[in-house]
Each structure stands twice: as structure tokens, then as C-alpha cells.
Chain A
Amino acid sequence: MLLGDRAKFLMLLGGVTFAALLMLQQAAVFCGLLTWTTSHLTNLQAKVWVVEAMVEQANELKPLRDTDVSRVRSVTGVGWAVPLYIGITNARLSDGNFKPILMVGLDSATLVGRPAIMLDGRLEDLRKPNSIVIDDLALQRLKTPSGIPPKIGDSFEINDIEARIVGICKADRAFFGYPYVFTTYDQALQFAPRQRKMLSASLVEPAVGWTAEATARKIELETGLRAYTQDEFYWATIRWFFKNTGIPISFGTTIILGVIVGIAISGQTFYTFVLENLRHLGALKAMGASNTLLSMMLIFQAFFVGFTGYGMGLLAAVGFGAGAIKRGQPPFVMPWQLPTGVFVLIMVICLLAALIGILKVIRLEAAVVFRG
């Protein structure tokens, strides 16, 4: 019956599609944004991060003393520990323009925390004096005014010191949108403005037979520093952004709006459809259709609209995501839990819409069909 009423069917489909798209797209952008907040962790990959005792999240590293690495190394359960520098500084391009960069200093001997994918050049060349490896975002952000992206062999200044590009890597984008620039720890200390304490964190590998959690707790106990496993640091960072920024509220509001719009449009349209077809539903009831059968009929129609609308919404969201990933922004990540959750929500919305109609049908007397 509903499929034959083209206007209502299309309106219902439009409402569900819009609701699905809104929820999927906004939630995927939100997830993407959260991955940006944890980009240090995904780019540097360490089992345990040792940071200053008051550090709550990965984007706010407070400096440690250089000797703290040695203190960490001396803890039982630590296989090895290396120093790490992470800091925001400015790059002075050849045209005199300044651009902010996110400088990462890796342990010169081991290059632990190195980028996983090199797009061009050799990572080992980082050991050469004044060498840096830039990420793919830097190709856009550090372009010359005439639009030419930097390449291997090009150089710019960091804190008045020449930095020469020896490689280009792929890295997850950081929350603030600055490109990653990798160098060695020693070189980073040269590039960065001098401070009393320069060590940002120590990356730790647990000793054989030790879990990351046990090692982290042991380090905290013996050094008084804060030690996070990769997983703990990830969720601590996510929690921090939930608690201290308006991002979840902003996205949450839009997602809730999607649910409300979905319920409002589909509920109202479905109810109108039932009202307009009361005589026909009454006729079916008079002819012997049971309440169960009529309810199943309404639920089937609602689910059909739900499936179709969800599919179209998902397709549109994936299309948006493909474009976003190609452009590099806005962030877009769609873990499997997201489409699954939205699917369940859409089905709940459709079920609610159907229930409104079902209540009407159950209360409907078949005798309505005889009234003028």
C-alpha cells in the first residue's frame, strides 16, 4: 500500500535517507576528528609512553628532564627506552613566509617511532646533519607561493638553522593541522628553541615476559612519572577531548538532530499514511485480516523504507567520505561499529514510526468501513 503511494513513499524515504546520512556523516567526521587527536600515537607507535606526571593527553606533553630516560631504563621490566621530542615550531620558507610545523625528534640510534610508510627518500638519511623527513601534508602546507610543493633536496629554516628534506613519508594528520617534520632527537634539540627541559616523552619497550600494562605500572611506581600503554594513552586522550572540548556536544547535537528529524519525518508521514488509509485498513480488517497481520504489514513497510533509506544514506555518506579522504579534510573515519549502530537506530526509528500506525490500527474498529 505504501509503495503505491509514491509521494508518501518518497517523502518517507527522503526523511530516512537524510537522517541516516546526517548521523553517519557527522559521526564519521567526529571519529575522524578523534583520530586526529591521537595522531601522535598512531604515527609513532610505542607500547609504553612515559610522560610527565601531570600529562592527561597526547597533545599536551609537558617537558621532562633528559635524565628521566635513564631513570626509566633502570626500571625492572623495561626492555629499552628512548627519548622523544615533540613540539610545535615555525619553519621559515624560502620566500620568507613562516609556517607552523610539528617537529618530532626520534632517537638517533634506533629511530624508534619512525613513520611506517616512506613515500620518497630513505629514513636512514635522517642521521645526516640538518636532515628532516616531512609528511604528505607538508607537501601542501609548505608549498611555495607559486604552488610548487617541497621535494627531496629542498631546504628551509627552522629557528635560523637550515633543514634539508631527505624524505617524504605518510603520516596521520594531527589535530591542529600542522604537518609532521621528523628528525633525530639530537637534531631536534638544535632546531627547537632552547628550554631548561627538552625531553617530551620516553618511548618504552617492555622486557621479555612483561606486559605493557605491568611495565607501565612499574615505571610509575619507581619513577613517579606517568606511564601509559598505547591503548591507555589513546583512550585518555579521547576522554580528555570529550570532557574538555565542545566537540562531542557539537557533533552529538547534530547526530541527535538526525535522529529527531528521522523520527519526526518518518513518524508523521507514516501516521498520515495510516490515517489516510484507515478505510482500506478497516476494509481489510472487516474481510478478516487480524491485528497481527496488519501490524506485520506496517512493520514490513516501515522496515522496507528503513533498509532502502539507510542504504541510500550510507551510499551518500561513503561518497562524502571518499571525497573527504581524497581532499584530506574534513577527517572521515567509519569503523564498522558506526554503520552498524546507525542501522540499528534507523530500524528503531522505523519501528517507532510503524508503532504509531499500529496503535491506530489496533484501536480501529472494522465497523469504520460502514460509516459514511
Chain B
Amino acid sequence: MIMDPTTRQTAVQVTGLTKGFGRGDARTLALKEAEFNAYEGDLQLIIGPSGCGKTTLLSMIAGTLIPDQGEITVLGHKLHAMSTAAITRFRRENVGFIFQQFNLIPTLTLVENISVPLLLAGTSVRQAEKTADAMLDRVGLGGRGKNYPRQLSGGQQQRVAIARALVHDPRLLICDEPTSALDRETGHQIMIKLRELARKPGRSVIVVTHDPRVYEFADRIAEMEDGRVLRQLEGAAIANATL
């Protein structure tokens, strides 16, 4: 159930965002003055064909890429005006990540993997592992803390990745193709989980996806093409639109 647009808080506001890669004749613009908004309490999808700039936009919202032009305000922080160190600190404190390939560190146990964001935030190893263990329980993998990622299925690994993304209670969850490596049923469960997370007060989830099977879970969808956000749909408009 989405909130009334007039009362909900803006989580992400992107204005006139431009980003190019390469130099000279080889320079290509991945984003061309893109405009985008995401709100607290929403599960926001970003969709579009390959090469349309989805990942570039997501990277900039996450603060992992610096824009050439334009403004990005995330959770009230003007990322375009912040130093690299300040953006790193901002990410550490406010953003959780779920990656397409999970990116769990293969040489660390599940508990150690989940502990990483807490350890980066300065929590003691003991406390971090205790919290990570509890988080593992919440994603249905209790008792497997000593296992390594290679001992899990793709769906289980993605659940661990979700646990890692949420363990430090971030306000913004950034997900890059979270279901593309999963079967339909597992992908379905993951999306339900992400929607539950988006509903928590002060939280927001942004998902980049190619997977039309997950559109039904979205509160809002931003459709991109050729470096621009063509339209942003929400509510009934999503069901009626041809995407």
C-alpha cells in the first residue's frame, strides 16, 4: 500500500544528471540530464533496455560514481557537493547493497560476510558476529553461520546478501538485478522480502531490473531509454502500462 504522494518524504532526488565515459570521439554519454525521484516507503524499480543508463544512475544514487553534471540528493545529503570521504562515510551509514552476483566474499563464512558492514561501522567483532547470527536466522538460514558461500544455493546466497545489506539497518537499499540469477520461485520470495523492507518507516528500496516478472511488486517504476528517464509510473498506472 503506497502512501499519499503529497505526504511522503523524498528519499532520492535527481536533477539534470549527466555522466559520460571515455574521451574525445570515443566519449559516450550514459546519462543525459536524467531526472528521477524515489520516496520513502516505496519499492522503486528502474527498468529499461541494456545500455540505457540504469546501472549508471543506480551507481550515482549509491554514491559510487561521481556525476559530470547535475544534482543528486539522497536522504537529504547533496552527494554532488560532498567529498569522496564524506560520500564513503554516507554509504557506510545509510546504504545497503544487494548485487546481481551476490558478491559474498568466498573466503569468509556467512556470519563473517554479514558482519562486514557492522565492522566497517566500527562495531566490535563479537557484537557484529552476534548481530550477524541473528540476521542469518531472520533470512531462514539459522545455524549455518559457519558455512561458506560456496556451500549454499543461489537463492540462499542472495538471502545472505540481503542479510548483509540489512544488518546495519540502512535507510536506503540499492539492489542491482537481485533476481536475475534466481529461479522464478526464489525471485518471487526475494521480491516479497524487499517489499516488506520498503514498507518500514523511513526506508526506501531501489531496484534495477530487466526481469518483467518482478514488476508486480513495484510501487513505482522509472522507465529509462538512451540515458534519460522516459516516465515514472505508480499505482494503477503500472498495471495499465505496456512495459
Give the interface of A toward B (CB within 8 A).
Answer: 1, 3-5, 279-280, 282-290, 293, 365-367, 369-372
Contact = CB atoms under 8 A, between A and B. Distances in A.
16 contacts: A3-B107, A5-B107, A279-B101, A280-B105, A283-B99, A285-B88, A286-B64, A286-B97, A287-B91, A289-B92, A289-B120, A365-B65, A366-B91, A369-B99, A370-B100, A370-B176
Interface of B: 55, 58-59, 62, 64-65, 85, 88-89, 91-93, 95, 97, 99-101, 103, 105-108, 116-117, 120-121, 176
Contact of B55 (A283, A290, A366, A371): A371
A371 B88 CA distance: 19
B101 A4 contact: no
Contact of B64 (A293, A365, A372): A365
Contacts, number: 71
B64 A287 contact: no
Of the candidates A287, A369, A371, A372, the one having the most CB atoms from chain B within 10 angstroms of its own CB is A287
A365 B59 CA distance: 10
B97 A283 contact: yes
B97 A287 contact: yes
Contacts of A282: 103
A1 B107 contact: yes
B64 A283 contact: no
Contacts of B65: 365, 367
A339 to B, nearest CB: 32
Given A290-B88, A370-B176, A284 B107 contact: no
B120 A370 contact: no
B91 A369 contact: no
A3 B108 CA distance: 10
Nearest to B94: A288
A367 B59 contact: yes
A372 B58 CA distance: 14
Given A1-B107, A287-B120, A370 B92 contact: no
B103 A279 contact: yes
Given A288-B92, A372-B100, 11 more contacts: A1-B105, A279-B101, A283-B105, A284-B116, A284-B120, A286-B97, A287-B92, A287-B120, A288-B93, A365-B64, A369-B103
Contact of B58 (A4, A5, A279, A370): A370
Closest 7 CB pairs of A and B: A4-B107, A288-B92, A366-B64, A367-B59, A283-B103, A367-B64, A367-B65
Nearest to B55: A370
A280 to B, nearest CB: 5
A362 to B, nearest CB: 11
A285 B93 CA distance: 13
